[in-house]
Structure 1
Amino acid sequence: MDATAREWAPEHEVGPDLAARLVAERLPEFRGVAMEPLGIGWDNTVFVAGGEWVFRFPRRSIAVPLIEREIAALPVLGPRLPLPIPAPEYVARGGSPDFPWPFWGARMVPGRELAEAGPGDGARERAAAGAGRFLRALHDPVLVPRVDLPSDPLRRGDAPYRAGLARTRLQALAEQGLWEPDPAAWALLDAAPGAPPPGGTAVCHGDLHARHLMIGDDGIAAGVIDWGDVCLADPAVDLSLAYGAFAGTARAVLLEAYGRPVPPERELAARVLAVFLCAALAQYAAAEGHRMLLAEALTGIGRAARDCRER
């Protein structure tokens, strides 16, 4: 587990006191405002200021260009989408001996992570409907010329490539005793080499899973967060959410709200990516002691492979 944990080990750790000082130094209107920890991810540490504003600080150098991508793209995309997303209104750049990287502040997106709220599969239809409508708007071709984005830099839409990475993570989970090997998951990954190259190009979130879809207390989709991997890619990259976070009727609701056919080869790519993302989340959750996220991620592996088993 130590080798895996190094994937997200911080190069610069920002705590509440440092965050408050950095924000106050560059944004005087926030002087004296406490920074309350909100969340820590692989690439960023997030704080809430005054119960309304979220500040996002990179933890690793690899995240710096992702922060810059969010700063450039999110204000353009936000007004054109049916759910709230962060829109950086405060941007700080420039050197500080304690923190040399840029960071930004945006109004807080409402709700809780789907993974944290943890509704059962039968209680996800309302979240699924909103997620489907959101993805339909995000993948509208009219958005493509409005933003300057890289083309799938992580090869998330490349099913054979992602299948190899997913297999490695699943094997590690099995060796740790965290995951019971599932023939359906192996069969899904075995099918990936037959998938054609990614097709179609849309604006994609790029890393859409159960931690990044926010839902309200009523179970309705409330927003989408963590856009560092926003890119141009095959829509299957984002449709992985349908297979890793939803099952049964809820998945059908999402795809109906999405309103566009998902060809079998693109469904395969979406399922393979869902397995990879859920396996990566499971490793992270186990290492960091996040039991709810671990349960969600392990269940997500099964969701993504489930229809493969049923066939």
Structure 2
Amino acid sequence: MNKPWLAEHAISPEHAAELIGHQFPELAPVTTRLIGEGWDNMAYMINDKYIFRFPRRKVAVELIENEIRLLPFVQDKVKLQIPVLQFIGEPSDAYPWPFAGYAYLAGRESCDAHLSHDNLCRNAPILAEFLKTLHSIPIAEAEHLGVTYDKRDRVLPSTRLPMINTNLAAINALDLYDIAVFADYVKGLEHLTFEARTTLTHGDMHMRHLLVDDSDTICGIIDWGDAELGHPAVDLSIVHSFLPREAHSDFLSIYGDIDENTWELARMRALYSCSMMAVYAYDIKHQSVLQEALRGLDFVAEGLL
């Protein structure tokens, strides 16, 4: 199985400190602490005050440039915290790609909080309000910033179905989950149609990009590199992957009506996302992400009953 999360260029703490100190001497002396490593970026806490993100794959360069353009625009339009851009690092002989520094956002990834069933349900209205606001931003304003349209067919069934089958086969081989529960559903995806819709989307809504505070309440949304003009089902997949079925009505009461095709495309995207995250987490030995990815599969399965 292809592993798109493997790094092409890893940045050590020493290298990060050197790059930051050279381009931003006002931050010297620079202290660094690795706080996260995802598919696309390595994140360091700098001087206990800022978060600097460095692309670890070439494909992530476009994503961080996209985030640099978009964040100031979205900042005042949503109620939840999002990263506040403070520093833009330029490519150099020492490091070939741009990088960025942000004010530290308080909170922890929801996958590390292991939210209870009740707390997940309690967060449904918060997610709904956030996505309703984001999806209501005029497309023309996003286009003016240079936000691009979906180029990866993120909820196109003919593109995602082979990926889902590959992920589920890997999960089965690793004995991580009883995938038989999805057999009829996956077979039916061959007949799922795609009806185009367009909104400004975050593009990568999952448990690692939701920050929660000490009361287990969602307080921030991070990692905006995948934001694009695309189908709202890309973001709405979080309803199927993160919320118990009993919380769906609370979500919909605030977000508003969702047509059947969008709802089903979102469910498909949730199965893709959770299955991919499970394989990824197992490979890098990230237990909390694996646990939450498997719980996400439970939620998807629950919704099929």
Per the normalisation by structure 2, the TM-score is: 0.94
Could you say which residue in structure 1 is the equivalent of 2:113? 117
Could you say which residue in structure 1 is the equivalent of 2:4? 7
Q: Percent identity?
A: 31
Cα distance in structure 2, aligned partners of 1:78 and 1:219: 23
Cα distance in structure 2, aligned partners of 1:66 and 1:217: 30
Could you say which residue in structure 2 is the equivalent of 1:25? 22
RMSD of equivalent CA atoms: 1.6
Cα distance in structure 1, aligned partners of 2:147 and 2:135: 14
Q: 1:217 Cα shift?
A: 1.2
Cα distance in structure 2, aligned partners of 1:187 and 1:138: 34
Q: 1:67 Cα shift?
A: 0.8
Q: Tell me, yes or no, if the aligned pair for 2:281 and 2:287 is still in contact at 8 Å.
A: yes
Classify 1:198/1:44 alpha carbon distance in 2 versus 1 (closer, same or farther; 3 Å).
farther
Pick from 137, 147, 169: which aligns with 1:149?
A: 147
Q: 1:31 Cα shift?
A: 1.1
Q: Which amino acid aligns with 1:179?
A: Y
Could you say which residue in structure 2 is the equivalent of 1:281? 277
Cα distance in structure 1, aligned partners of 2:301 and 2:261: 15
> Which moved further from structure 2: 73-82 or 237-246?
73-82
Gapped runs of 5+ residues in structure 1? none
Could you say which residue in structure 2 is the equivalent of 1:264? 260
Q: 1:144 Cα shift?
A: 4.4
Could you say which residue in structure 1 is the equivalent of 2:236? 239
Could you say which residue in structure 1 is the equivalent of 2:128? 132
Q: Tell me, yes or no, if the aligned pair for 2:195 and 2:261 is still in contact at 8 Å.
A: no
Q: Equivalent residue of 1:55, what SS?
A: strand
Q: Which amino acid aligns with 1:193?
A: E
User: 1:158-201, CA deviations, whole angstroms, 9 ceiling, x for partnerless residues?
Assistant: 13321221111011110111121232x22332222333324221
Pick from 161, 164, 179: which aligns with 1:181?
A: 179
Residue 178 (structure 2) pairs with residue 206 (structure 1): no
Could you say which residue in structure 2 is the equivalent of 1:217? 214
Q: Tell me, yes or no, if the aligned pair for 1:205 and 1:227 is still in contact at 8 Å.
A: yes
> Which moved further from structure 2: 136-145 or 16-25?
136-145
Cα distance in structure 2, aligned partners of 1:252 and 1:213: 21
Cα distance in structure 2, aligned partners of 1:74 and 1:27: 21
Could you say which residue in structure 1 is the equivalent of 2:169? 171
Classify 1:199/1:88 alpha carbon distance in 2 versus 1 (closer, same or farther; 3 Å).
same
Aligned residues: 303
Classify 1:128/1:47 alpha carbon distance in 2 versus 1 (closer, same or farther; 3 Å).
same
Gapped runs of 5+ residues in structure 2? none
